[in-house]
Amino acid sequence: MPLPASDAGPPIAAFHAPAGAATMDAYAAIASQYVYRGVAQRDRPTTSFALSTSLPQGWFADLWAGLVDADGWNDYSKPHGTEWDVDGSLGYGAAFGQRWAWSLAGARIVDIGDGGPSDDYTEWRANLFYRDALRAQLAYSSDYLQRGWSSWNAEFSGSHFLTESLRGEWGLGHSHGSGRRDNDYSYGWLGLTGSWLHTQWDARWVDAGHGARYVLDSNSGGSRVVVSLSWALHLLP
């Protein structure tokens, strides 16, 4: 049995030292459509990839790329074209206490392949996590899509194991200034997720308020069901 308390070692806080190694994880996913913050950026099958790296000191760099349907710049009537939406972020994060973690990041969102004028923009994100059960995010951009106005998004989501292999998930979000300067809309989702043969599956029903239609086109909001499969590969350590 463990030694008496007097010999038992460092405070519990010592256990929360950095894991000690840099990490690098790669991900791939396919989905029936791509919905981001309640808005369907592609309402047909799509794919996405991600690379996540972190240093033991807490710094991290993430790269996400997904195939989306381009809208024209402020011209929602233009026919869809395909482009890569690339989201690169640099940030810092840490755990505090036994269950909580936070991270702050600056992200640059770049569209590749749309052929139109640049609508790249920078976004700042603050995340708060409670284990793997709850998470909250506040994101802010001072020049969303280079349209000359600021926007923000707040999202609160969580999940809970229903059985040993099935997890229920939910989320609520609110966006301001996306699509139009004074546009506001709320959205939410309910879903189920689980894993099978090294594949994570996810099925969720998403519903977005009326304002979401002004973000891309008239079909980008509303209610829809999204099914996705994803895979992860731990490259480091």
Partner 1 sequence: MLRTLLVLALALLFFNGCATSRTDDPRRLVIITVADNNTGGMPPRGYHQPGYRISDGAASALAGLERDYRLTPVDGWPIDLLNVYCAVMAIDPTRGVDETLARISADPRVQLAQPMQMFDVHGGYDDPYFDQQYGVGSVRVLQMHQTATGRGVRIAVIDTGADRSHPDLKGRIGTVRNFVGDDSGFDSDIHGTAVAGIIAANADNGIGIVGIAPDADLLLLKACWQRALDDISAQCNTFTLAKALTFAIDQQADIINMSLGGPNDRLLGLLIDVALARGIVVVAAQDAPNEFPADRAGVIAVRTAPGDDPQPMPDGTHPVVVDAAARNLLSTSPGGRYDYFSGSSMGAARVAGLSALQRQEHSPLSTPQLIRDLDQRLAELGGRAAEPDTRLVTHAPSAQRGVLPPSGRQPAVSVSRIDGT
- Return the residues of window 118-137 that contact partner 1 according to CB under 8 A: 125, 127, 129-132, 134-135, 137
Q: Which of residues 130-189 bind partner 1 (CB under 8 A)?
A: 130-132, 134-135, 137, 139, 156-158, 161, 163-165, 167, 172, 174, 186
* Out of 39, 107, 206, 226, the residue judged to bind partner 1 by CB under 8 A: 107
Q: Distance between CA 20 and CA 46 in Å, rounded?
A: 36
101 forms part of the interface with partner 1 (CB under 8 A) = yes
Q: Which is nearer to partner 1, 72 or 157 (CB)?
A: 157
* Out of 48, 141, 175, 183, the residue judged to bind partner 1 by CB under 8 A: 48
CA angle in degrees (0–180, nearest 5) for 177-182-183: 65
Q: Distance between CA 142 and CA 133 in Å, rounded?
A: 30
- Spatial neighbors of 220 by CB under 8 A, at least 6 apart, are 39, 40, 41, 43, 212, 213
Q: Distance between CA 156 and CA 137 in Å, rounded?
A: 7
Q: Dihedral (C-alpha) 131, 36, 82, 211: value to the nearest 10 degrees? A: -170
CA-CA-CA-CA torsion sign (219, 221, 222, 225): positive
Q: Which is nearer to partner 1, 222 or 230 (CB)?
A: 230
**Which stretch in 46-54, 112-120, 142-150, 214-222 sits in contact with partner 1 by CB under 8 A?**
46-54
Q: Distance between CA 135 and CA 128 in Å, rounded?
A: 6
Q: Which is nearer to partner 1, 100 or 205 (CB)?
A: 100
Q: Which is nearer to partner 1, 78 or 108 (CB)?
A: 108
Looking at the DSSP bridge assignments, the partners of residue 100 are 96, 130
Q: Which is nearer to partner 1, 6 or 223 (CB)?
A: 6
32 forms part of the interface with partner 1 (CB under 8 A) = no
95 forms part of the interface with partner 1 (CB under 8 A) = yes
**Which stretch in 21-29, 72-80, 141-149, 214-222 sits in contact with partner 1 by CB under 8 A?**
21-29
Q: Which of residues 49-78 bind partner 1 (CB under 8 A)?
A: 50, 52, 54, 56, 58, 60, 62, 64, 66
- DSSP E strands in the chain: the ranges are 23-31, 34-36, 39-42, 46-54, 59-70, 81-96, 100-112, 121-130, 134-141, 151-161, 166-176, 184-196, 199-208, 222-236
For the bound state, the minimum distance from the C-beta of residue 47 to partner 1, rounded and expressed in Å, comes to 11
Q: Which of residues 192-221 bind partner 1 (CB under 8 A)?
A: 193-195, 198-200, 202
For the bound state, the minimum distance from the C-beta of residue 155 to partner 1, rounded and expressed in Å, comes to 9
